[in-house]
């Protein structure tokens, strides 16, 4: 939510109108200010190189214009034209890059501060973008680092309008003449005039807290008719049309006059045709006749079609652009419910069954849980919310939000290797050599030395583990099991192929607990489990249920391994114990569990079985295994109460290993009840 709020950038401020004196008469410059209280600290203004006011620059520089403001150009028009041309050669990212040098030029124009009446030199600078806000800003160097840097560079005044709160311990003298005071918290200063330009009425916000000052200025702006409180958003339009092959075609055709026509439902879906070349082509600067070319435009038979859209057969032209991949992924979760329905996006009864409101949980409709990387938050998930809200407004779905809960999984990390040039080499081809002088192992690729580093797994780092290779060597279930047991799901975890073997051995032991590896016959017992097995089984069911619901599969797997190891130690594995184990493991290792379930005599898939339910009579730990160590080696195990008195545990431990102590009093006994007793024998 926080990432999406920051991405949309909702800001509460004011829209303010600044008069601008030009040779063509007075013009108006509108700016959006998140801090209208700082109007008193505005010492200059800046517009985008694309701003319409630049068409009104004067023929000559005003008298006493500093040379540093002109960029060495003879006239404002020459300066603005050259600067605009330079700005067009930059990307929007380069223009707003915080690390880049801020450049600008004086336009020869002055804006009038609507409150103070002060004449503000109007500059143009490429870090102001025309498609963000109004393409113009009021500059407050006393409260903004970028404005401060610009003011210092061009010798413009700095006025501080906020001083630190008394309780902050800060001193305004630490900032004045050195840096801006950038804070929303503070007391307003230097913000008072006897008569304002707009209506001749005095205005003072000195001594107010910032929020109170903003409210007072907004009210004055509206009363004076030179501005009003406004909400703005940073979110930009969605670039929905792409010049790519892979994407959903638009269900639109154009007639000979270029008028767009929506295709009727009976002509849907539109399938992508074969094309001779799938790569898009851009404008070739060396060929004046060349034009950008989308891949679909190369199949002329598909682009130019004859059809009857109600006015008789006519020639139409298909759109050769496609939708972005976001288009399908914004609603796929609904299409999965009924992917073969050719009449509806999703049939209502089918939607209500799976995602409708009040499915036993008292909530509105939608997906119960979405698991995905945090990188999806401001792109895929934000657009999916938009898409879903549109469908909600149109009446196709009954919930305003698509997802009830979001869970962000961590990254899988792995070693990556770079050569001496810093270029990444395939991690799978790197060989480990003997330790170097520092004791660390050395690594080579194709005979040359490489450096090892640790980071996320990705194509650019050439350290991806190919799933197909893992399936081939260990099986899909082992691969899934290892991924889920690596550590907490929400945290990034290191990959180590050598650790995969442990998961494979667990699955092999489970198989042997059910199937005799010599005869291939099922070997489970129909007898009831003993009391110890019943307690372990039901405690495992209770614990695994909690862990799985809490998205902690790694700890759930650990508990299943303990149960399976116990069954391995029995002379005969009870069906009543191993079947719940298989059902609990099935979400993680579905293939082997389905096969075992079938071998156990069940004709239907285990997917139709209910989750095991613990028998409360056996849930709860009435004993715990205490380990007795002598010089670090386990010499005895005791079944004791979880709340056993340490003195009693020490007595029991010494009694259990009395023969090993030879009747001598130990030199030291360390008791960590109820699990460990460590004994240091007498010399």
d(CA 547, CA 312): 65
Q: What angle do CA 530, 531, 532 make, to 5 degrees?
A: 95
Kindly report the backbone phi and psi dihedral angles of residue 367, in degrees, each rounded to the nearest multiple of 5, phi listed first.
-75, 130
Q: Specify the DSSP class assigned to residue 471.
A: H
pLDDT: which is higher, 553 or 495: 553
Average pLDDT over the chain reads: 89
R_g (Cα) of the chain, nearest Å: 36
d(CA 644, CA 369): 42
pLDDT digits (tens, 9 = 90+) for 409-435: 888 888 899 998 889 999 888 888 888
Kindly report the backbone phi and psi dihedral angles of residue 484, in degrees, each rounded to the nearest multiple of 5, phi listed first.
-80, -15
d(CA 62, CA 77): 13
Q: Where do the DSSP E strands lie in 406-523?
A: 406-407, 412-418, 424-425, 431-435, 441-445, 448-456, 493-494
d(CA 232, CA 230): 6
Residue 5 has a pLDDT of 81
d(CA 190, CA 176): 13
d(CA 546, CA 548): 6
CB distance 568 to 513 below 8 Å: yes
CB distance 129 to 32 below 8 Å: no
pLDDT digits (tens, 9 = 90+) for 545-589: 999 999 999 999 999 999 999 999 999 999 999 999 999 999 999
Contacts of 593 (CB under 8 A, 6+ apart): 582, 583, 585, 586, 606
CB distance 217 to 36 below 8 Å: yes
pLDDT digits (tens, 9 = 90+) for 622-657: 778 899 999 989 999 888 888 899 999 999 999 899
Q: Which pLDDT band, with edges at 50, 70 and 90, does 214 fall under?
A: very high
Contacts of 194 (CB under 8 A, 6+ apart): 202
pLDDT: which is higher, 284 or 169: 169
Residue 197 has a pLDDT of 60
CB distance 509 to 568 below 8 Å: yes
Residue 503 has a pLDDT of 92
In total, the chain counts a number of residues equal to: 683
d(CA 541, CA 291): 66
Kindly report the backbone phi and psi dihedral angles of residue 49, in degrees, each rounded to the nearest multiple of 5, phi listed first.
-60, -20
Average pLDDT over residues 491-516: 90
pLDDT digits (tens, 9 = 90+) for 301-351: 999 999 999 889 999 999 999 998 778 888 889 999 989 888 888 888 888
Residue (of 468, 473, 493, 474) closest to 483 by Cα position: 493
Q: Which pLDDT band, with edges at 50, 70 and 90, does 256 fall under?
A: very high
> How many CA within 13 A on the CB side of residue 375?
2
pLDDT above 90: residue 206 = yes
> How many CA within 13 A on the CB side of residue 442?
10
Q: Which pLDDT band, with edges at 50, 70 and 90, does 7 fall under?
A: confident
Average pLDDT over residues 616-623: 83
β 119-124/44-47 pair status: parallel
The H-or-E segment that residue 601 falls in is: none
Residue (of 87, 159, 157) closest to 126 by Cα position: 87
Residue 18 has a pLDDT of 96
pLDDT above 60: residue 55 = yes
Residue 368 has a pLDDT of 86
Q: Which domains does the chain have, with CATH numbers?
A: 2-232 (3.90.740.10), 252-324 (no CATH), 327-407 (no CATH), 412-464 (2.20.28), 478-618 (1.10.730.10), 624-680 (3.10.20.590)
d(CA 544, CA 21): 74
CB atoms within 10 A of CB 112: 19
Q: Specify the DSSP class assigned to residue 385.
A: H
432-451 burial by CB neighbour count: b if 16+ within 10 A, else e?
Answer: eeeeeeeeeebbebeeeebe
What's the distance, CA 351 to chain centroid?
Answer: 28
**Assessment of whether the complete model's pTM goes beyond 0.75:** no
d(CA 16, CA 93): 27
């Amino acid at each position: 939510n926080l990432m999406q709020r920051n991405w949309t950038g909702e800001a509460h401020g004011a829209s303010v109108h600044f008069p601008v004196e030009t040779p063509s008469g007075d013009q108006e410059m509108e700016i959006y200010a998140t801090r209208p209280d700082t109007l008193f600290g505005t010492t200059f203004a800046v517009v985008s190189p694309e701003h319409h006011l630049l068409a009104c620059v004067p023929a000559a520089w005003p008298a006493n214009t500093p040379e540093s403001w002109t960029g060495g150009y003879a006239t404002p028009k020459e300066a603005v034209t050259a600067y605009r041309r330079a700005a067009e050669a930059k990307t929007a990212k380069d223009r707003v890059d915080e690390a880049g040098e801020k450049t600008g030029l004086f336009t020869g124009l002055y804006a009038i501060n609507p409150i103070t009446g002060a004449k503000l030199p109007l500059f143009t600078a490429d870090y102001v973008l025309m498609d963000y806000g109004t393409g113009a800003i009021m500059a407050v160097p006393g409260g903004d680092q970028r404005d401060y840097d610009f003011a210092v560079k061009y010798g413009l005044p700095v006025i501080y309008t906020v001083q630190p709160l008394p309780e902050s311990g800060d001193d305004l003298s630490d900032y004045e003449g050195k840096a801006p005071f950038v804070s929303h918290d503070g007391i307003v200063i230097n913000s008072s005039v006897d008569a304002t330009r707009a209506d001749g009425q005095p205005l003072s916000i000195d001594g107010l807290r910032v929020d109170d000052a903003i409210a007072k200025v907004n009210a004055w702006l509206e009363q004076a008719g030179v501005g009003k409180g406004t909400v703005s958003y940073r979110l930009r339009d969605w670039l929905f049309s792409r010049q790519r092959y892979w994407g959903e075609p638009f269900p639109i055709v154009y007639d000979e006059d270029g008028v767009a026509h929506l295709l009727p439902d009976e002509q849907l879906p539109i399938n992508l045709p074969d094309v001779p070349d799938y790569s898009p082509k851009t404008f070739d600067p060396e060929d004046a006749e060349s034009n950008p070319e989308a891949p679909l435009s190369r199949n002329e038979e598909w682009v130019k079609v004859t059809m009857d859209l109600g006015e008789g057969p006519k020639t139409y032209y298909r759109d050769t652009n496609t939708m972005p991949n976001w288009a399908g992924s914004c609603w796929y979760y609904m299409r999965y419910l009924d992917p073969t329905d050719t009449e509806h996006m999703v049939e209502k009864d089918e939607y209500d069954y799976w995602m409708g409101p009040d499915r036993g949980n008292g909530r509105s409709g939608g997906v119960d849980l979405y698991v995905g990387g945090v990188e999806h938050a401001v792109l895929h998930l934000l657009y999916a919310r938009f898409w879903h809200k549109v469908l909600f407004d149109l009446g196709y779905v009954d919930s305003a939000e698509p997802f009830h809960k979001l869970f962000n999984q961590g990254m899988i990390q792995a070693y990556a290797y770079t050569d001496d040039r810093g270029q990444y080499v395939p991690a799978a081809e790197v060989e480990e050599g003997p330790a170097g002088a520092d004791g660390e192992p050395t690594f080579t690729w194709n005979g040359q030395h490489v450096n090892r580093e640790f980071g996320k797994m990705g194509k650019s780092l050439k350290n991806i583990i190919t799933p197909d290779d893992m399936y081939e060597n260990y099986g899909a279930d082992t691969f899934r099991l290892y991924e889920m047991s690596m550590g907490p799901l929400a945290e990034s975890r290191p990959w180590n192929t050598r650790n995969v073997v442990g998961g494979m051995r667990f699955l092999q032991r489970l198989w042997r607990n059910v199937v005799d590896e010599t005869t291939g016959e099922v070997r489970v017992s129909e007898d009831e489990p003993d009391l110890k097995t019943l307690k372990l089984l039901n405690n495992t069911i209770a614990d695994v249920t909690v862990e799985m619901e809490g998205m902690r599969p790694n700890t759930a797997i650990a508990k299943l391994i303990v149960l399976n190891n116990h069954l391995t130690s029995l002379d005969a594995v009870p069906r009543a114990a191993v079947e719940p184990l298989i059902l609990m493991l099935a979400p993680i290792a579905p293939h082997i569990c389905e096969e075992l379930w079938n071998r156990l005599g069940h004709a239907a898939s285990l997917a139709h079985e209910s989750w095991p339910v613990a028998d409360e009579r056996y849930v709860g730990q009435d004993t715990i295994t205490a380990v007795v160590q002598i010089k670090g080696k386990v010499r005895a195990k005791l079944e004791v109460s979880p709340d056993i008195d340490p003195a009693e545990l020490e007595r029991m431990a010494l009694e259990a290993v009395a023969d090993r102590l030879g009747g001598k009093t130990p030199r030291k006994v360390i008791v960590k009840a109820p699990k460990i007793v460590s004994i240091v024998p007498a010399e």
